[in-house]
Amino acid sequence: MAFPITRLRRLRQTEALRSIVRETRLTPESLVYPLFVCPGEGVRKAIGSMPGVFNLSVDQAVKEARETHSLGIPAVILFGLPEKKDEQASGAWAEDGIVQRATRAIKRDIPQLLVVGDVCLCEYTSHGHCGIVKKGTAGVAQPDHTGAAAAPSRATEQYEIENDPTLEILARTAVSQARAGSDIIAPSDMMDGRVAAIRTALDEAGFQNTPLLSYAAKFASGFYGPFREAADSTPQFGDRRSYQMDGANLREALREIQADLDEGADMIMVKPALPYLDVIAAARERFDVPVAAYQVSGEYAMIQAAAQNGWLDRERVMMESLLSIRRAGAGIILTYFAKEAAKLLS
């Protein structure tokens, strides 16, 4: 059938018609709200590049979690700003670590709200990398392709993010978060083998029923910029391209997801969301597990900045971006817009 028998505009004439044929719907139940927890009391410190997002002391995080729950959002994910950082990321797995304390406080106050524990080391290491750093001789000249020695510089410093020694620390972090009451453990470091290491450690510690949501396809992205201000986790040297994924690779993303599922992940995540909608769609198509996507700080900041300048309709673009992530196939969306979106949806 073609025009004039077929007229696709027939079903777009009124909101009631548009609504009854709508294919994708957003609900507050699919959202997860990220919280940045810091030391102190009564602290509510604005993050410049993320208007509307704050560093919160534990008491304030509890208040925020209470509001999140009242809006019908089922989960928060916690990131920590420790009092001190060191090379071994000891703040990540300390029993009285900032995330562990916040988890206990939130679970005590609002037991029905799911607490997701982000497992990574970059917020807790003095160098800001997601793993243990093995440094070579700093400043040693590296031979270039002609065999001649290049001048020593920061750019030629040798360092390596050590994969296997990092796994043990990640596993210890995951167990300490589970002990504090985390409902879901979410490793975001991108080391090889971390899901298996964490699953084994959780099982040995008696947490066989704690599910894993792995940041399976996490791309090295410029869109993380504002988060690094929020979590104070900018690498002090180098970048994260030796462990986070190359933005050019879709097939490799599917291998990463397969590997994490083979190692015991219960749910997988694609991060960032908007620049990687094709990866979300391919993951949804290929794997029969819950797919999450993280609308990251830069995606949030872009919309906020444009709206502040009067260049975009904030609410409309916010909902459209979330809808696109949902339509691509993400059943779970981590977003700094969670509270506002939930208010508009109710």
Instruction: Enumerate binding residues for Zn ion (CB under 5 A).
Output: 120, 122, 130
CA gap 147, 157 in Å, rounded: 17
Which residues does residue 275 pair with via DSSP β-bridges, in sequence order?
Answer: none
Contact 247, 221 (CB under 8 A): yes
User: Which one from 45, 63, 107, 218 is the annotated catalytic residue?
Assistant: 218
Contacts (Cβ under 8 Å, ≥6 apart) of 19: none
> Of 107, 134, 135, 271, which one is the catalytic site residue?
271
Least Å from the CB of residue 287 to Zn ion = 24
Q: Which is nearer to Zn ion, 38 or 73 (CB)?
A: 38
Residue 122: CB minimum distance to Zn ion, A: 3
Q: Is the CB of 50 or the CB of 122 nearer to Zn ion? A: 122
A 10 A CB-CB count for 59 gives: 16
Q: How far is the CB of 189 from Zn ion (least distance, A)?
A: 5
Q: Least separation, in Å, of the C-beta of 173 and Zn ion?
A: 11
Residue placing its CB nearer to Zn ion in the complex, 64 or 118: 118
Q: Which long-range contacts (CB under 8 A, 24 or more apart) does 6-13 make?
A: none
Cβ distance to Zn ion smaller for residue 102 or 130: 130
- The HSE-up count of residue 278 (CA atoms within 13 Å, CB side) is 7
Catalytic residue check, 85: no
The C-alpha torsion from 87 through 244 and 246 to 321, rounded to 10°, is: -130
End-to-end CA distance of the chain: 39
Nearer Cβ to Zn ion, position 65 or 122? 122
**Closest CB 65 distance from Zn ion, rounded Å:** 23
Q: How far is CA 257 from the centre of its chain?
A: 15
Tell me if residue 218 is catalytic: yes
DSSP E strand stretches across 61-152: 75-80, 114-119, 132-135
The residues that are catalytic are 218, 271
